[in-house]
Chains A and B, each alone.
Chain A
Amino acid sequence: MSPATQEPVIRTRNLTKEYRRQEYHVYALREASIDIRRGEFVALMGPSGSGKSTLLHLIAAMDRPTDGEILVLGHDLRSMSESAVARWRNAHIGFIFQSFNLIPVLTALENVELPLKLTRLSRRERLDHAKWALELVGLGDRLTHTPRQMSGGQEQRVAIARALVTDPDLILADEPTGNLDSNSAKEVLTLLTRLNKEFGKTVVMVTHDPHAARTAGHVRYLEKGMLLPNGEVPEDWAPIHHVG
């Protein structure tokens, strides 16, 4: 495993996300403070509605916090414009969804090439990078296949290739194995582990699957919008025993 440095790449303090509908106030996340260091593989666990996806979305700047501080890779995301955040996300974040979210009319190669269209790379360079990423996830022979022609596991691997093709600092995965059978899930988790160990990527993964969480170096739990202190587990939840 690549050693995690002491430098936190994600730092939140009292991060809060509140939804207001008329007189109702719902806290999706309340005063969450967490430090995640470069090279760490962290799993965020908790029951549905505990706020784990909300925290991940705030880290990816896909959503804006209501209150609190958030520094990701040294950037205060709250002060950046939407366009600046979009460009920052393209350069630094690779996001993996539970439901893959590939563009159905594009081939695997084109889907993976998509984030590179926002860079200054030539078409040839873009395609070379996209092919490399697909080969890395074991889909070098599926370049011209559209999502409809692939299995769920293959689609998720294309999504991982798309997430890593820009060589981002952070890989954020929201329930990446949630829609997969156990074999495909295993392949995806192996890939994430490889990205963390071999390529030194910082990985933050949301999951409620204990098997998936075991592949992470650290597990943090959330409950009712609150990030539990390090080492604490929600009631009725068994703590995760890490493998290796």
Chain B
Amino acid sequence: MRNSLRNRRRSLLTIMSVAASLCLLGVLGAVYNNFYYSEASPHQALRLIVRNRVSLANPFPIAYRARILQVPGVEEAVILQWFGGTYKDARDTNNFFGRFAVEPERLFRVYPEYKLTDVERLGFERERSACIVGRKLANRLGFKLGDKLQIVGDIFPLTLDLTIRGIYDSANDNENLFFHYEYLNKGFGGGSRMDQISTLVIHVRSTDLVPVVSRSIDDLFRNSAVQTLTETEHSFQLSFLAFLGNVKLFFLMISSAVAFTMFLITANTMAMSVRERTREVGILKTIGFTPSEILRILIGESITIALIGAAVGLWLANALVGLLRNAPSTFADFSAIRMPNEIIWIGFGAAAVLGVVACFVPAWNASRLSIIDALRVSD
């Protein structure tokens, strides 16, 4: 242990380089896990999203809902219309949050996890310019009941003047603003956008029925002018990631580059460290240490440094994941992100392997050096 850290500055820099790399790998792993391996909550698992098969930007008629509600297994369907728009200064990312037009009376049947008092709920349902906001969003922007706020439309040429009538709580996804779809639809004034929606959220009776319902809805409109694409809420969220390109490949490439850089830095440091200690190898051999014992000592020291770096890096990664969990949602929902145990074990495992691989060649050469040659170094 003391040998591992004898050159403090170099050991510290090596530990930091391993820590930085593993921190990045840890955060990437947690984000990847959050996107692709996180399990849907029980409520999420019962929801399907219907949209235009062509793209999310293309709407479909609101009239489809009546037919969808006829599909066996469908319990409820609520419009979830992205509004976008600008709240105060768009340059301040703090002012970014989800703004959706919904039907209040249906919303809570599809999203039963959204909790608010009966008074707030009634206030939201009865007033066309009412809106509700998530608790996290309210805390972030200091919203209170009765506050008035204005959203200036960008996709839709409409300015919304809303009054906050409720603040809802939810285990996750509580950074949105919901207002009346009727307010939006009436605002179109009979134009082509009237009675056209981009997404409809379906509540299915049981999870067993989800695949069947999904297929049935799409089959229902297969021969229509506007065809639908019905997918789970989780898949729908992932489709936003797909806008960025091949995210999996992106993750793989960054992780590989980080791992390779980490390997080069550590291998270089270990080679320097072993070379610096060649004379000591000669001393140890004179005392009676065998080549294999010396190899084990040198590799053990390398592993020690790599594992300290891994511990620091993964601890930092865990802290960053915690920050991400509490950060405002922007393009993705990280409210349930966590550092999986698998990532931690993989991180430590990778560090240990790195410690062995980076050190093996110089350690092997040093351990095989004759005593005389080893003692001659730096003589």
Residues of chain A at the chain B interface (Cβ within 8 Å): 57, 60, 62-63, 82-83, 86-87, 89-91, 95, 97, 99, 101, 103-106, 114-115, 118, 162
B residues 188-206 near A (Cβ < 8 Å) are none
Binary contact track B359-379/A, C-beta < 8 Å → 1, others 0: 000000000001110010001
A105 close to B3 (CB less than 8 A): yes
B372 close to A103 (CB less than 8 A): no
Besides A95-B286, A115-B287, 8 new A-B residue pairs in contact (Cβ under 8 A), listed by A number: A63-B370, A83-B290, A86-B290, A99-B379, A101-B283, A118-B289, A118-B293, A162-B287
Q: For the complex, give the distance between the alpha carbons of A87 and B286 in Å.
A: 10
Determine whether B292 belongs to the interface, using a CB cutoff of 8 Å to chain A.
yes
12 chain-A/chain-B pairs, Cβ below 8 angstroms: A57-B371, A62-B370, A62-B371, A62-B372, A83-B292, A86-B288, A86-B291, A89-B286, A101-B283, A103-B280, A118-B287, A118-B289
Determine whether B67 belongs to the interface, using a CB cutoff of 8 Å to chain A.
no
Q: For the complex, give the distance between the alpha carbons of A104 and B277 in Å.
A: 11
Q: For the complex, give the distance between the alpha carbons of A16 and B283 in Å.
A: 24
Q: For the complex, give the distance between the alpha carbons of A177 and B194 in Å.
A: 101
B291 close to A83 (CB less than 8 A): yes
- Expressed in whole angstroms, the minimum distance between the Cβ of A107 and any Cβ of chain B is 10
Determine whether B279 belongs to the interface, using a CB cutoff of 8 Å to chain A.
yes
Kindly list chain B residues whose C-beta atoms are within 8 Å of the C-beta of A95. Answer: 286-287
Binary contact track B1-41/A, C-beta < 8 Å → 1, others 0: 01100100000000000000000000000000000000000
Determine whether B180 belongs to the interface, using a CB cutoff of 8 Å to chain A.
no
- Expressed in whole angstroms, the minimum distance between the Cβ of A116 and any Cβ of chain B is 10
From B285, B287, B293, residue with most partner A Cβ within 10 Å: B287
Binary contact track B265-287/A, C-beta < 8 Å → 1, others 0: 00000000000000110111111
Interface residue from B286, B289, B292, B379 paired with A62 (Cβ < 8 Å) = B286
Kindly list chain A residues whose C-beta atoms are within 8 Å of the C-beta of B290. Answer: 82-83, 86-87
B residues 286-331 near A (Cβ < 8 Å) are 286-293
B372 close to A115 (CB less than 8 A): no
A90 close to B2 (CB less than 8 A): no
Kindly list chain B residues whose C-beta atoms are within 8 Å of the C-beta of A60. Answer: 286
Interface residue from A87, A99, A105, A114 paired with B2 (Cβ < 8 Å) = A105
- Expressed in whole angstroms, the minimum distance between the Cβ of A78 and any Cβ of chain B is 15
Residues of chain B at the chain A interface (Cβ within 8 Å): 2-3, 6, 279-280, 282-293, 370-372, 375, 379
Q: For B279, give the chain A residue with the smallest CB separation.
A: A101
Q: For the complex, give the distance between the alpha carbons of A105 and B284 in Å.
A: 14
| Closest 8 A/B residue pairs (Cβ) | A90-B288, A62-B371, A83-B290, A86-B290, A115-B287, A101-B283, A105-B6, A105-B2
A91 close to B288 (CB less than 8 A): yes
Q: For A95, give the chain B residue with the smallest CB separation.
A: B286
B287 close to A114 (CB less than 8 A): yes
A82 close to B286 (CB less than 8 A): no
Kindly list chain B residues whose C-beta atoms are within 8 Å of the C-beta of A118. Answer: 287-289, 293
Q: For the complex, give the distance between the alpha carbons of A78 and B289 in Å.
A: 18
Kindly list chain B residues whose C-beta atoms are within 8 Å of the C-beta of A62. Answer: 285-286, 370-372
- Expressed in whole angstroms, the minimum distance between the Cβ of A77 and any Cβ of chain B is 13
- Expressed in whole angstroms, the minimum distance between the Cβ of A32 and any Cβ of chain B is 17
Kindly list chain B residues whose C-beta atoms are within 8 Å of the C-beta of A87. Answer: 288, 290
- Expressed in whole angstroms, the minimum distance between the Cβ of A156 and any Cβ of chain B is 14
Q: For the complex, give the distance between the alpha carbons of A24 and B76 in Å.
A: 95
Kindly list chain B residues whose C-beta atoms are within 8 Å of the C-beta of A162. Answer: 287
B280 close to A115 (CB less than 8 A): no
Kindly list chain A residues whose C-beta atoms are within 8 Å of the C-beta of B286. Answer: 60, 62, 89, 95, 97, 101
Q: For A62, give the chain B residue with the smallest CB separation.
A: B371
Q: For the complex, give the distance between the alpha carbons of A86 and B281 in Å.
A: 13
Kindly list chain A residues whose C-beta atoms are within 8 Å of the C-beta of B283. Answer: 97, 101, 103
Kindly list chain B residues whose C-beta atoms are within 8 Å of the C-beta of A82. Answer: 290-291
Q: For A174, give the chain B residue with the smallest CB separation.
A: B375
- Expressed in whole angstroms, the minimum distance between the Cβ of A38 and any Cβ of chain B is 21
Q: For the complex, give the distance between the alpha carbons of A103 and B6 in Å.
A: 11
From B2, B3, B283, B286, residue with most partner A Cβ within 10 Å: B286
- Expressed in whole angstroms, the minimum distance between the Cβ of B379 and any Cβ of chain A is 8
From B6, B282, B283, B284, residue with most partner A Cβ within 10 Å: B283
Kindly list chain B residues whose C-beta atoms are within 8 Å of the C-beta of A104. Answer: 6
Kindly list chain A residues whose C-beta atoms are within 8 Å of the C-beta of B280. Answer: 103
Q: For B294, give the chain A residue with the smallest CB separation.
A: A86
- Expressed in whole angstroms, the minimum distance between the Cβ of B286 and any Cβ of chain A is 5
Q: For B370, give the chain A residue with the smallest CB separation.
A: A63
Q: For the complex, give the distance between the alpha carbons of A164 and B237 in Å.
A: 73
Q: For the complex, give the distance between the alpha carbons of A204 and B372 in Å.
A: 18
Kindly list chain B residues whose C-beta atoms are within 8 Å of the C-beta of A114. Answer: 284, 287
Kindly list chain A residues whose C-beta atoms are within 8 Å of the C-beta of B3. Answer: 105
- Expressed in whole angstroms, the minimum distance between the Cβ of B329 and any Cβ of chain A is 51
Take A63-B371, A101-B283 as given contacts and tell me if A115 and B2 are in contact as well, using a CB distance cutoff of 8 Å: no
Q: For the complex, give the distance between the alpha carbons of A191 and B330 in Å.
A: 77
B372 close to A63 (CB less than 8 A): yes
- Expressed in whole angstroms, the minimum distance between the Cβ of B4 and any Cβ of chain A is 10
Interface residue from A57, A86, A91, A99 paired with B289 (Cβ < 8 Å) = A86
Q: For the complex, give the distance between the alpha carbons of A101 and B280 in Å.
A: 8
Kindly list chain A residues whose C-beta atoms are within 8 Å of the C-beta of B291. Answer: 82-83, 86
B288 close to A106 (CB less than 8 A): no
Kindly list chain A residues whose C-beta atoms are within 8 Å of the C-beta of B282. Answer: 101
Kindly list chain A residues whose C-beta atoms are within 8 Å of the C-beta of B372. Answer: 57, 62-63
